[in-house]
Amino acid sequence: MDILKSKILIVEDSFIVALHLKTTLESEGYQVLDSCPSGEEALEVLSKEKPSLVLMDIMIKGDMDGIETAAIIKEKYGIPIIYISALSDKATIKRAKLTQPYGFLIKPFEDRAVFTTVEMAIHKHEMELKLRQSEQRFTAAVHSINDAIIVVDTNCCITFYNASASAIMQRNEEEIIGKPIGDVLHLKDATTNEVLENPIQCSAELHVSSLPANLSLISKDGSEIYIGESSLSLLSTGNSDVNGLVISFRDITEKRQQEELLKNADREKTAALIQGQENERSRIARDLHDGLGQMLNAIKMNASVIAPAKKSMSGLYTLIDEAIQECVRISENLLPSKLNDFDLGTCLKSLCEQLDPNFKSSISFKNGGTVIAMNHKLKINLYRIAQEAINNAIKHADAKNIVVSLKKEKDVILLSIHDDGDKKAALNHHNMDEGHGLTNMSDRAKMMGGRLSIGKTEALGWLIEAKVPFLDN
């Protein structure tokens, strides 16, 4: 600090004292403005000059005394003040104290005491100014970030909050500061709706550094806001004592909406993909069956009219027959014609019976109840789920016994596939094949507004179960 540049204003009605002070201070390198005998004059000077310090007598000329003038100066300009006065009674000191002076020199004073007090005051004021600026910067930063920040003391009462916190909770200072956190911050689990009694206390004890996931905050007007990206940090002041806890979190409603949108788009894409695949299969099956198959039949019929059963022709007829059978086989593999003509139960029964003799596995179908009339899409998707699950059980888990069952419970259709296959192999397969069969089954169930569950039961091995809401035509 450059002492030479410090300007000082002296407010003193005694010309002698003022002159003495001015001379003394100037001899120490201070710039001293012309002294003022009254408060009014002092304020007049201050409207033009900005000294670093004011030396203020209490008993001065004019309508205001020194303390009243000092109060105005402090309020208006924030310039530090040192009183110089012969008065040292309790009442005066008490009044002077309220204006937070930087010193109080009692007349008569020694020159040394004046220098020390003046120097200390200027230094202290500068320090305070720096501190205040740093605090302002800090406060501005904390208030302008998007994360809500709340600080609680060791009794879980709120000692600080920022603008975001106040906005999310929709509460003002009066409703926040000093209140127990549990009374202000109402949190609940966004899925289970379970209210969290005091998430912070338990977190602090367990040394957890964030709030539980998937929370929503209930604001004052009752609206729910998803919050996340939270952190809990202990507040300590250098030594090991903990003074409280800093809680920060963020409104993630928009983020969640975005995620939800993405998920929906993804689901729609998958559904479209599966549907497209199904349409294409159906088209190829129809082309094979109605086009090529019928043509082959017609060829055979015409040939038999032109050249009735002769030995030389039998090889040709066999070939045509095989071609027809192959046509039917490929077409049936792509999309069983039965799905067009029969209910799902009949189709699944047929599927189980067809597979049965070809494998070491025994497959049984259990139709729990009456014929369930359902729309074609649902029928095909459930059929494909069963097909995939049976294939997995046979090919990857080497199952010996498989039971497929279909039933309707109220408005839900339940398709389950039990098998006693090698659990380990099946599990490995399920993991490895994540991108394929399992996901496909699960996607199909989701497409129908239902879900697929996979689990194993102690006695029965694997169970794949699709639950979908029942939709008739």
Partner 1 sequence: MTKQKILIADDHAMIREGIKILLKKKKEYEVIGEAVNGLDAVEKFKNLNPDLVILDISMPELSGMEAAKEILNIDPAALIIILSMYDDEDYIRLCLEIGVKSYVVKSESSEELVDAVKNVLAGESYYSSRVQQVIVKNYTSSAKKNKKEQLVKLTSRELEVVKLISEGLTSHEIAKKLFISSRTVETHRSNLLSKADAKNSMELLRKLSDLNIF
CB of 305 to partner 1, least distance (A): 5
CB of 296 to partner 1, least distance (A): 8
Residues in 270-289 at the binding interface with partner 1, rule: CB under 8 A: 289
Identify which of residues 198 and 350 has a Cβ nearer to partner 1 in the complex. Answer: 350
CA 128 to chain centre: 40
Beta bridge partners, 160, equal: 151
Contacts for 331-335: CB closer than 8 Å, 24+ residues apart: 331/284, 331/285, 331/286, 331/288, 331/289, 331/293, 332/285, 334/281, 334/282, 334/284, 334/285, 334/288, 335/278, 335/281, 335/282, 335/285, 335/380
Strands (E), 320-433: 362-368, 401-409, 412-419
Q: What is d(CA 192, CA 170) in angstroms, rounded to the nearest whole number?
A: 24
Does 365 interact with partner 1 (rule: CB under 8 A)?
yes
Q: What angle do CA 220, 226, 232 make, to 5 degrees?
A: 90
| Adjacency order of strands within the sheet including 224-236 | 158-161, 148-153, 242-251, 224-236, 215-218, 186-189
Considering only 363, 406, 415, 447, the residue that binds partner 1 (CB under 8 A) is 363
Does 304 interact with partner 1 (rule: CB under 8 A)?
yes
Cα-flanking dihedrals φ and ψ of residue 216, to 5°? -130, 150
Considering only 120, 295, 307, 425, the residue that binds partner 1 (CB under 8 A) is 295
CB of 449 to partner 1, least distance (A): 24
CB of 292 to partner 1, least distance (A): 11
Identify which of residues 157 and 323 has a Cβ nearer to partner 1 in the complex. Answer: 323
Identify which of residues 206 and 459 has a Cβ nearer to partner 1 in the complex. Answer: 459
Residues in 306-335 at the binding interface with partner 1, rule: CB under 8 A: 309, 317, 321, 324-325, 328
Considering only 166, 201, 243, 364, the residue that binds partner 1 (CB under 8 A) is 364
Does 407 interact with partner 1 (rule: CB under 8 A)?
no
Cα-flanking dihedrals φ and ψ of residue 171, to 5°? -130, 150
Considering only 4, 16, 206, 305, the residue that binds partner 1 (CB under 8 A) is 305
Binding stretches for partner 1 (CB under 8 A): 289-290, 293-295, 297-298, 300-302, 304-305, 309, 317, 321, 324-325, 328, 337-338, 340-342, 346, 350, 362-366, 400-403, 405, 418-420, 457-461, 463
